């Protein structure tokens, strides 16, 4: 039975789910599931960071959910990717960009699964959790053909940082090669540090055309008020808000603060590896890794301090000792709208999308987020508009019978099919379609 901490409140009412039974290999419907295991790599298997457990959730009582009985099938779109990390569809084209952590960028045709290399990707630091990470397409593509990549790269001293850069996508459909022309680094989230962990790093465009990029805390383990995530003068443990040219957005909260980094939009984050725009409100939502459990879903506010590590729902590894007071015990931090407290097994996240397609009308408005060590695709219903009134409820998982670490998600615009990148050394990209 799942253990509840003494500080449980309305956001931490856990449920225990039963196992999936007798699902066909390539078809299924939503059902309860858990995925207990001994693996200790909740994130990327490079540091024993965030030990594994069963998928758990927090929120109000579940209530009725019309999406529970949706039947679906899983189709393999393309194969043999090496740790795919990011997915992005090309508007007005239908093909899919896929990043692989060792440094490859590919263009996939969902119609026949053809995979073609895109030249011009940057040299990356593919160590630990680093490498070629997320991909985002300029919202005015193809009129503005820029494609944005986030990645880990090093300086001359061998120290690494999360980078964001862009190049113009040239499609060689007339017989030439696909390429990112003139790719250049737009920003390195400083400072560079000697660590191969906690790079973040998701990128997405907001409704106003600003580029949001998440940056991890680079595994700083000094859990006090001097932690890098609480230091607004640097860009670690933060959400950056940039113009499409990579400059700090002029409306950022600390542009007039001599002690604040101009690019910062929010801070106090540990390692946010999922980000999506909620269509109903235009708000930026993120999922981030906790320490031992303590994983969070956050709605991002301009200038918000999300607490890490002076407020957390996590415990120190191998103990029941809280890392810090809970968010609700402080009035100077923004609390998550949903979290997994210590003892729940957690939800180590990677990749998220709000579903707004036509293939599954029962899922419209739901948040989908992948989980790594817990190995399933989470679905969450969301009621309420903002941080104070948003109620997030985890529903029965998808893909819980596959043993897949779910890394990235995207919705195909034309069909509404939900695409999933699996994290493995020899991995597929699959899509979820109506049965």
Just list the catalytic residues. 198
Q: Is 342 exposed, middle or buried (0-12, 13-18, 19+ CB in 10 A)?
A: buried
Q: Which two tokens stand for residue 43?
A: 């994130």
Query: What CA–CA distance (Å, rounded) separates 166 from 187?
Result: 10
DSSP 385: S
418-422 and 406-411: which strand pairing?
antiparallel
3-state secondary structure 110-129: CCCCCEEEEECCCCCCCCCC
Q: Please answer whether residues 380 and 369 qualify as being in contact, where contact means their C-beta atoms are separated by less than 8 angstroms.
A: yes
Name 170's bridge partners.
179
Beta carbons within 8 Å of 267's beta carbon, 6+ residues apart: 229, 230, 232, 237, 238, 239, 304, 305, 306
Q: Please answer whether residues 100 and 82 qualify as being in contact, where contact means their C-beta atoms are separated by less than 8 angstroms.
A: yes
Q: How far is CA 398 from the centre of its chain?
A: 17
Handedness of CA 72, 116, 371, 136 (dihedral sign): negative
Query: What CA–CA distance (Å, rounded) separates 283 from 348?
Result: 22
């Amino acid at each position: 039975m799942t253990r509840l901490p003494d500080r449980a409140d309305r956001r931490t009412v856990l449920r225990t789910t039963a196992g999936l039974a007798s699902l066909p290999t390539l078809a299924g419907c939503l059902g309860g599931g858990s995925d207990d295991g001994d693996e200790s790599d909740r994130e990327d298997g490079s540091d024993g960071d965030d030990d594994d457990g069963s998928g758990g959730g927090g929120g109000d009582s579940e209530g009725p959910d019309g999406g529970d009985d949706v039947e679906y099938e899983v189709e393999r779109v393309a194969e043999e990717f090496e740790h795919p990390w990011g997915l992005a569809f090309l508007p007005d084209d239908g093909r899919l960009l896929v990043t692989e952590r060792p440094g490859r960028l590919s263009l996939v045709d969902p119609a026949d699964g053809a995979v073609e290399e895109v030249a011009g990707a940057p040299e990356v630091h593919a160590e630990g959790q680093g490498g070629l990470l997320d991909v985002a397409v300029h919202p005015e593509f193809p009129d503005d053909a820029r494609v944005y990549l986030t990645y880990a790269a090093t300086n001359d001293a061998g120290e690494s940082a999360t980078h964001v850069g862009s190049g113009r996508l040239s499609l060689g459909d007339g017989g030439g090669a696909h390429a990112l022309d003139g790719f250049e680094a737009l920003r390195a989230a400083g400072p560079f540090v000697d660590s191969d962990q906690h790079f973040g790093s998701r990128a997405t465009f907001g409704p106003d055309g600003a580029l949001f990029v998440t940056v991890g805390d680079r595994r700083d383990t000094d859990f006090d008020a001097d932690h890098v995530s609480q230091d607004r003068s640097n860009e670690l443990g933060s959400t950056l808000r940039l113009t499409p040219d990579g400059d700090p957005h002029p409306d950022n909260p600390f542009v007039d603060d001599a002690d604040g980094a101009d690019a910062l939009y929010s801070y106090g984050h540990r390692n946010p590896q999922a980000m999506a725009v909620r269509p109903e409100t235009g708000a930026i939502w993120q999922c981030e890794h906790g320490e031992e459990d303590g994983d969070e879903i956050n709605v991002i506010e301009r200038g918000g301090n999300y607490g890490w590590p002076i407020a957390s729902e996590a415990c120190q590894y191998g103990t029941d000792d809280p890392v810090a007071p809970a968010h609700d015990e402080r009035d100077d931090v923004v609390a998550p709208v949903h979290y997994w407290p210590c003892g729940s097994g957690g939800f180590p996240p990677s990749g998220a999308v709000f579903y707004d397609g036509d293939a599954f009308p029962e899922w419209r408005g739901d948040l989908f987020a992948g989980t790594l060590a817990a190995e399933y695709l989470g679905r969450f219903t969301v009621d309420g508009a903002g941080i104070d009134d948003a109620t997030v409820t985890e529903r029965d998982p998808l893909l819980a019978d596959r043993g897949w670490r779910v890394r990235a998600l995207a919705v195909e615009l034309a069909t509404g099919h939900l695409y999933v990148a699996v994290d493995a050394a020899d991995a597929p990209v699959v899509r979820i379609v109506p049965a």
